[in-house]
Chains A and B, each alone.
Chain A
Amino acid sequence: MSDAKIDGSAIERLLGVIGGDRDDLLELLDEFFVVAPDYLRKMQEAALSGDLDNLRIASHSLKSNSRDFGAVDLAGLCQSLEHACKSGAVSDAASQVAAIDAAFAAAKTSLNKLVVGNG
């Protein structure tokens, strides 16, 4: 699996705002790795049932989190899905969710390498 681009400054920023405690950061990251699959599951369900509202909220949340951790590709995909939901014109939601799923997996690998590996 190829590495996802991670914006180091976002992580640095996050570390900054939470007070600079690296353990806190790792804790948040673990939380992210737990929460994100939940959102993905919600998105898959919403995509299947055509529930644009929940699809949008889940995309938004995942976008927000991935941005915190500098997973720019993942955040970008979530954002475009969010915008699509907002405008009401979602084409092939399932495959977009699948792409987001893949991006998350890549981001997880990269984040593990960058943050956990260094730590």
Chain B
Amino acid sequence: MEPALDASRNAVLEPKASADGRGGLARSVQGKFLLYVVPLVLLSTLIVFGLFELNARRSAAEQLRIKLDKLVEIQGAVVAESLWNVADQQIKLILAALESDPDVSAAAVYDERNRLVASVGDLALLDRATYTDSQDILYNSGDQRIKIGLFRVALTEARLTEMTRERMILVTFLASILLATVVTATLAANKRIIGRPLALLLNSIQEAQNSGNRAPVDWSSDDEIGRVVRAFNDMQERQNAYEQQLRNSNDELEARVAERTADLAHAEATASEARSQLTDAIESISEGFALYDRNERLVVANHRYREIMLGNDGAISAGTPFAEIVSRSATVGRFPNARQDPEQWIERQIMRHRSPGPPYIQEMAGNQWQQISNRITDKGGTVAVHSDITNIKRISDELKRAKDAAEAANEAKSAFLATMSHEIRTPLNGIIGMSTLLSGTPLTEEQRDFSDTIATAADTLLTIISDILDFSKVEAGALELERTPMDLTETIEGAAELVATKASEKGIELACRINPDVPVAVFGDPIRLKQILMNLLNNAVKFTEVGEVILTVSTDFPDAGQTPGATTMLTFTVRDTGIGIPADRMDRLFKSFSQVDASTTRRYGGTGLGLVITKRLVELMGGAISVESAPGEGTTFTFTLPCEVAELPDRLDRAAMLEAIKGARILIIDDNRTNQLILNERFRAWELHPTAVGSPETALNLLTSGERFDVVVVDFKMPKMNGFEFTTAARAAFGEATPPMILFTSVAPLDVEFREGAARMEYAATLPKPAKSGQLLVALLKALAPDHQVRSSPDRAATAALPTQNCELHVLLVDDNSINRKVGQKILKTLGFEAVVVGSGAEAISRCREEEFDIVLMDIEMPDMDGIATTSRIRSILPPGRVPYIVALTANAMATERETYLKSGMDDYLSKPINVEALSASIDAARRHRVSQADEGHGHRT
């Protein structure tokens, strides 16, 4: 900026400077000023003096004229006497005197005849000169005037001219002085007023121009110049300020530029260092690393990558396409896989490069293995990392071999275990059966003891073997769960019942509490659920010496209620008052073959597998199990099960039974608080009016006070007074008015003494503890409404104690497959049935015509006539009362098909391979079916 500014200023100032240099008058202010002033002064002087001169000349000429007139007049008169006297001499004297007047240049006197009388001076002048005059000379003779001559005079202008010349000199002199004064004054004033400040200004400008130093001009006046100077100074100042500002911003700019430049240099250095570090890092990793851009061209690759792809002396430059690199490595023979079909191999590599999946493994020359992982970067490039996994691969191969070997060994072991378990179980069943039979025969005390020991040992052994078998099944993942509608109460109470004996032997109260809002039936595997519950209950009983074991079932979704199809969450809790588990041993609980400690195993026995199996089963069912325990106080196992609410036919016609006993008043006598609560709750749910007391004495008092009850439920084993004693006392006191009684007992019903005692007491029913709901209901019904027809016994154990009893049911097995026939026949045999077996639908129909069957097990898939067709034919040809309970058998184990079969006329459905428990449940159902048919009066037995 500055140079340009200077240049323009130079350009402006240049002409003036050069004019100064030339020094022309018209080019300086003073010169110009003088050019204006001098002519003016001269002109005005000229005019003034001109006028003055004109005036002077006129008055001089006037005076001369006047002098001439007077001269003529006076001298004429003077001359007249002399002339009259003709005294020429005298005239000559007069004329001479006249000539002494410097103004008179000539004079002459003429007589009356114009003859010259006398003259002086040049007579020619008398005609030529400006100032001439003539006068008639008159003489006075009396009153007459006579002209006697002529007088002529000429005056000269010389004195006039001289005076003019003198005046001119004076005027010139004066004018010169005036001019000089004016010029000097002008110059002085000019210099003082304009020149100096201008010079100062010029100096300042020139100095500013030359040195850039803008000094203010030291000049003050109140005229225009002063204002100019002030304006100039202001301008200078502003210019200075502006320049300062400019300089400042320039400095700032420069500083910033310098800073930026430094920053840039620093960043460049950092980037370069980072780049070199990155390169170092990439080069130094043991993995092969390469980055390709989005066009699959190499951006960077480390030495290892090049080595992997192309061998030791492979060189790849950046920008090489991936396809080229791969095809080169195929050519070089780095990858054995590429040898067979290089094209295809290359194609595959490119595909993997383009759309990377999970890392993959590739064999390399020299029996090396690498894992290649490709990743797409954010910018669409691809990063390839090749890791040498030769060692890992070797180890993994070894591991795999070891694992295969171990698995094979394990499998063999499992198979062996399974076989052995069966091998053991078969004779064991014999031992148990025999010892049971033995205990039924008259024995001496010692013999009974031996027999009991045998039974106990065999039981334990059986449990252990079952555990091991289950465990191996669970471990092998071979355990499959059934999904059938199950009666929850029946299942839960069934489990508790099986543990009841053990509990009563130890004197532990065993109670089972099912919340009223728990659904009646859910879909599930009743066998396995029972197994879970039994494991937990057995455990609880085993580790409890004093107190109680309580199984509680509740639901987290009471709203799901009894709506079939709704999902509910059941919570099962098994609480005991046993020895408890130390906190630091909790984690071992659910582990295989580990009990809380080794001494526990010695003391309590067991394989330690029960809880592991339990946990697995719960998890298989979609639930979770947890445990809480305080040593010395007890343990609580809780597990949850998600279930779908199912609908079960009301086989016992519970509704009718409940209706029959509704509103009854019940007295409960039990010293155990938990039992009281449970019974109370159950009776309330049945819309009965229970009153619970803790001792027989209280009960007697209550009865004595006139309180009326329809039935009394009394526990056998109570302190001070047992059930028998209470009954005796009550009957003694109230006689006929004594309400009917139901006895609860945990004493083994096999005890002959007890059985005899109970029989003597004539109880309406004697129930083992914990009482099953069904049994309890039937017992109440028997006590309260003896006339009510019970459809069938709810307790299978009571009627199906021994297999031989099953001969009562007539079974037909229909299957075209000889193996299935044989298997089915054998299964039925184990259940105590001698089944009729046929191999086709046609045979089945003809057999059904000939004899009456209670149950037909019908294979579905048969040639010629399938199970469904056969079933509908049987139904159509037989009278309604004679139609057997028909169970479909099929290997098509789809849950949905179950509905199909039920819809097409089957009563039930069993999937192959046949499950003994399911088959036996079906047979039970058939039995009930037959009983209800008989009740309705249709059936008659053959």
Contact = CB atoms under 8 A, between A and B. Distances in A.
A13 interface: yes
Given A18-B830, A24-B826, A57-B862, A67 B913 contact: yes
Given A19-B829, A61-B816, A67-B891, A8 B414 contact: yes
Contacts of A21: 426, 826
A12 B422 contact: yes
Contacts of B259: none
Given A16-B422, A27-B822, A35-B818, A114 B863 contact: no
A20 interface: yes
Contacts of B822: 27-28, 31
Given A15-B422, A20-B422, A64-B891, A8 B829 contact: no
A54 interface: yes
A22 B426 CA distance: 10
A19 B826 contact: yes
Contacts of B830: 17-19
A18 B411 contact: no
B448 interface: no
B418 A17 contact: no
Contacts of B418: 8-9, 12
Contacts of A67: 891, 912-913
A18 B823 contact: yes
A60 B861 contact: yes
Contacts of A53: 863
A91 interface: no
Contact of A64 (B425, B476, B478, B912): B912
Contacts of A7: 478
Given A8-B411, A61-B861, A18 B826 contact: yes
B862 to A, nearest CB: 7
Contacts of B421: 12
A84 to B, nearest CB: 15
Interface string A28-56: 10011001000000000000000001100
A105 interface: no
Interface string B443-469: 000000000000000000000000001
A68 B819 contact: yes
A28 B423 CA distance: 18
Given A12-B419, A57-B861, A65 B817 contact: yes
B648 interface: no
Contacts of A54: 863
Interface string A65-107: 1011000000000000000000000000000000000000000
A57 B861 CA distance: 6
B914 interface: yes
Given A17-B914, A18-B830, A19-B830, A31 B419 contact: no
A67 B415 CA distance: 17
Nearest to A8: B415
A2 interface: no
Interface in B101-117: none
Interface string B467-511: 001000100101000000000000000000000000000000000
A61 B818 CA distance: 10
B818 A14 contact: no
A21 B830 CA distance: 11
Interface string B412-433: 0011001101110110010000
B932 interface: no
Nearest to A29: B819
A63 interface: yes
A18 to B, nearest CB: 4
Nearest to B478: A9
Contacts of A65: 817, 819-820
B921 to A, nearest CB: 14
A56 to B, nearest CB: 8
Contacts of A64: 817, 820, 861, 891, 912
Contact of A32 (B411, B415, B819, B862): B819
B913 A13 contact: yes
A10 B913 contact: yes
Given A9-B476, A20-B426, A35 B817 contact: yes
B916 A60 contact: no
A20 B478 CA distance: 19
Nearest to A69: B819
Contacts of B863: 53-54, 57-58
Contacts of A24: 826
Nearest to B428: A20
Interface string B806-842: 0000000000111110110011011000000000000
Nearest to A21: B426
Which of B426, B476, B818, B827 has the most chain A CB within a 10 Å cutoff?
Answer: B818
Nearest to B919: A17
B314 to A, nearest CB: 44
Contacts of B829: 19
Contacts of A27: 822
A57 B429 CA distance: 39
A13 B414 CA distance: 13
A10 B913 CA distance: 9
A105 B11 CA distance: 119
B467 to A, nearest CB: 15
A53 to B, nearest CB: 8
A20 B425 contact: yes
B411 A14 contact: no
A31 B819 contact: yes
A110 B415 CA distance: 13
Contacts of A114: 415
B913 A68 contact: yes
Contacts of A20: 422, 425-426, 429
Contacts of A12: 415, 418-419, 421-422, 469
B891 A63 contact: yes
Given A12-B418, A12-B419, A17 B425 contact: no
A19 B418 CA distance: 14
A14 B419 CA distance: 11
12 contacts: A12-B415, A12-B419, A12-B421, A14-B913, A18-B826, A18-B827, A20-B425, A22-B423, A28-B822, A57-B816, A58-B863, A64-B912
Given A12-B469, A21-B426, A65-B819, 9 more contacts: A7-B478, A9-B473, A17-B913, A19-B827, A21-B826, A57-B863, A60-B891, A61-B861, A64-B820
Interface of B: 411, 414-415, 418-419, 421-423, 425-426, 429, 469, 473, 476, 478, 816-820, 822-823, 826-827, 829-830, 861-863, 891, 912-916
6 tightest A-B contacts by CB? Answer: A18-B826, A8-B415, A12-B418, A9-B478, A19-B830, A64-B891
